[in-house]
Amino acid sequence: MCLARTNWDVPKHRGLTVFMVPLEAEGIEVHRIEMLSGSKEFCQEYMTDVRIPDSDRIGEIDAGWTVGTRWMFHERLLLRSPYATLPAGSSRGGSRTEELLEVARDAGRLDDPLARDLIGEADTLELVKNALQQRVGQAMTTGAMTDQAASILRLMSGEVATRLTTIIYEMTGADGAAWDAEDGAVAECGTDFLMQQSYTIAGGTTEMARNTISERVLGMPRERSHDPNLAFRDVPRGAPTGG
């Protein structure tokens, strides 16, 4: 999906058009980014003189921002949707308490008071998250809250996911950073810890969720902008960097 600038003579949120772009099209380069964990789940995409037929356009010409905001709405719902029940124990949305208990057991910390406190914190976080999902979901389906309230669930899921990953890693001790096949549930916890920041990016960043909550749910004023009605070609830009 490509949100492209197709009109430079209208303000920035206008003059955009959405296209479906096949990754195998001529002129597209995909460079995978290796993370600290060694995984390569993210990438950079470069497009050079790529030509796309109009039949691959989604929506009207120069009306792509409407399409874009709608797909971002659905992306926010990807992690915690009030309209769909995720299966228990699934990698998306399922409880991690059982996993936490397995890690504590294999790390030999089930009787450790600090570990038990961490397990209690994790259980409480999941309890509050699930209650919030039910409450906001009901309010959205009845019209008591705007559908933009999905950002509340997105923010909560990101914050809880990163904290739970940290708690699990705190359980493992040194074995979470260096493990072998004998370590059971402790293995790979270090990799999960290094990847935890992705929970605040995928599905729309938590920073954007906070903006949406403040402006579209709470009705707070938007940050002042000096170019809302300025043609995009006239928007001030920094000087290009030299090669």
Question: What topology is assigned to 1-62 in CATH?
Answer: Butyryl-CoA Dehydrogenase, subunit A; domain 2 (2.40.110)
86 pLDDT band, cuts 50/70/90, is: very low
Distance CA 42, CA 36 (A): 12
- Residues 142-186 have pLDDT tens digits of 999 988 888 898 899 889 999 999 999 988 877 877 777 777 888
CATH 1.20.140.10 residue ranges for the chain: 83-221
pLDDT at 97: 84
**Is 82 within 8 Å of 141 (Cβ atoms)?**
yes
pLDDT at 227: 74
- Give every CB contact of residue 93 below 8 A, 6+ residues apart in sequence: 79, 80, 86
Sign of CA dihedral 86, 91, 93, 97: positive
Distance CA 184, CA 45 (A): 37
- Residues 8-62 have pLDDT tens digits of 999 888 899 999 999 899 999 999 998 776 778 788 999 999 998 999 999 999 9
242 pLDDT band, cuts 50/70/90, is: low
90 pLDDT band, cuts 50/70/90, is: very low
Secondary structure (3-state) at 128 = helix
Residue 118 has pLDDT above 90, yes or no: yes
**Closest by alpha carbon to 69, among 132, 14, 126, 140?**
14
**What CATH number labels 83-221?**
1.20.140.10
CATH 2.40.110.10 residue ranges for the chain: 1-62
pLDDT at 225: 74
Beta pairing class for 16-19 and 57-58: antiparallel
85 pLDDT band, cuts 50/70/90, is: very low
pLDDT at 78: 55
- Residues 174-220 have pLDDT tens digits of 787 777 777 788 888 888 888 888 788 877 788 988 998 999 899 99
pLDDT at 230: 85
pLDDT at 94: 59
Residue 37's CB is within 10 A of a number of other CB atoms, namely 16
**Is 49 within 8 Å of 27 (Cβ atoms)?**
yes
